[in-house]
Amino acid sequence: MKILIVGTGYVGTTTALVFCEMGHQVTGLDVDDQKIEALQAGNLHFYEPGLKELLLKHIQTENISFTKNIKEAIKNNDVIFICVGTPRGEDGRADLTYVKNVAESIGKYMKEYKVIVTKSTVPTGTAELVTEWVKSAQEELVLFDVVSNPEFLREGSALYDALHPDRIVIGTTSEKARLTMRELYQDFQCPIVETNPKASEMIKYAANSFLAMKISFINELARLCDRLAININDVSKGIGLDHRIGPHFLKAGMGYGGSCFPKDVNALLQTAGASGIPLTILEQVVQVNAEQSLYFINKIKQALGGDLTNKTIAVLGLAFKANTDDIRESQSLNLINRLVQEQAMIKMHDPVVKLADPPHGPFCRQFQTVAETVSDTDAVVLCTDWDEYKQLDWMTIKRLMKQPYILDGRNMVDKGKVEALGFHYTGIANY
């Protein structure tokens, strides 16, 4: 089947390459000429493990090509996936400008039947809007169907998630489009949930909101466990082994970030508000997440004697989580802002993220190595759970530091081991 992917971000590019693996012929299209030129040359404009290798492979097999020519791309393909961004608008709602632009272009250039699939995360009711936008741009009546087919990829493991999905969700009212989608996904060994577009769109928001809720639940419980000197990691393990609860997304830390959870939870709250049905649990999820980073800052302050003025702090990890170079809504950057407000000096490190324009001028500097970053600092603050940071040589680090303080925002360090080396260790209810 000939597939067009519009929007070559991490969702679009991953989706495109996975369809290549399944033997489909795929074209990638983007309004950003630089992205297209980079992809044509076999280069990714973002960091995602395993993806570059697959890109090079399918440039070789000629299963993938990239183009800037939207008119030809729409004409030449049967199924069009919309994978463009839906950033958070000023009022918290998803901004559908890019989706609308794509839908209108499809309407303008299509000359025969197309299946139009929204993979971007879009609010309930968007499939209907896409239908209207396509129709309104058509100069002559050409039939088409719209399908909602959300993605559930995590950054950092997008390729694995796309190749091994827990489920595939297909939302359409058209039998013809449903059959096309089944054919497209026929090689996947997972349940397929077939429903209408509205329910499919809701599934995506509900899934992300539920996961965010698990994180906020465990983070709030961690505060109580901290007070009672109970190890939250043991509690997570103990409840996660109950198959009704499950072990995932129960890792206490400094709060969730990233391009999805904050945006999607807010968008669902907006939909709820506009529908007159408040989602009060979800309101608390947001609240708890906002408080969690403050909670961690207070722990840093307490550990360092209550005043951070002129303290030099090494922040390890800038990405919002490991295995990505994404810093959108990163709790780490949030923390740096607050530490600088408290008059601290920051030395930063990340294995992958290189800030072109570090924030806060002279108060903040990024270093190439962990050794340079921790030298002459009063404390090391761990913000991103990179594997590299799980294997640090703390003995050497202690020699380089001014004061031996570790503040662990991801509960990733063995407390017993570092305390035995003479460190003062503080995690999130990590005993």
Contacting residues toward ligand UDX, per CB under 6 A: 151-155, 208, 211, 215, 249-251, 253, 256-258, 260-261, 320-321
Q: Which is nearer to ligand UDX, 151 or 201 (CB)?
A: 151
Provide, rounded to whole angstroms, the least separation between the CB of residue 303 and ligand UDX: 21
Provide, rounded to whole angstroms, the least separation between the CB of residue 170 and ligand UDX: 16
Q: Which is nearer to ligand UDX, 36 or 288 (CB)?
A: 288
Burial of 306 (0-12, 13-18, 19+ CB in 10 A): exposed
Local structure of 179: helix, strand or coil: helix
Q: Are 118 and 198 in contact (CB under 8 A)?
A: no
Q: Which is nearer to ligand UDX, 260 or 335 (CB)?
A: 260
Local structure of 146: helix, strand or coil: strand
What's the CA gap between 12 and 118, in Å, rounded? Answer: 11
Angle at 30 between CA 125 and CA 359, to 5 degrees: 90
CB within 8 Å of 4: residues ≥ 6 apart: 26, 27, 29, 73, 74, 76, 77, 79, 80, 81
Provide, rounded to whole angstroms, the least separation between the CB of residue 400 and ligand UDX: 27
Q: Is 260 a catalytic residue?
A: yes
Structure tokens belonging to residue 73: 């791309």
Phi-psi region of 86 (alpha: psi -120 to 50; beta: other; left: phi over 0): beta
Estimate to the nearest angstrom the gap between the alpha carbon of 171 and the chain centroid: 23
Listed residue (2, 119, 16, 4) closest to 59, CA to CA: 16
Provide, rounded to whole angstroms, the least separation between the CB of residue 383 and ligand UDX: 10
Exactly one of 20, 83, 225, 260 is catalytic; name it: 260
Provide, rounded to whole angstroms, the least separation between the CB of residue 50 and ligand UDX: 15
Residue 394, CB-side half-sphere exposure with 13 Å CA sphere:
23
Provide, rounded to whole angstroms, the least separation between the CB of residue 371 and ligand UDX: 25
State the DSSP H helix or E strand holding residue 6, giving kind and residue range, or none if neither.
Answer: strand 2-6
In the complex, residue closest to ligand UDX by CB: 260
Q: Which is nearer to ligand UDX, 220 or 378 (CB)?
A: 220
Q: Which is nearer to ligand UDX, 7 or 253 (CB)?
A: 253
CB within 8 Å of 55: residues ≥ 6 apart: 13, 17, 39, 42, 44, 64
What amino acid is encoded at 337 in this protein?
A: N
Q: Which is nearer to ligand UDX, 260 or 401 (CB)?
A: 260
Q: Which is nearer to ligand UDX, 10 or 133 (CB)?
A: 10
Provide, rounded to whole angstroms, the least separation between the CB of residue 399 and ligand UDX: 30
* Length of the chain, in residues: 431
> Which residues are known catalytic residues?
260
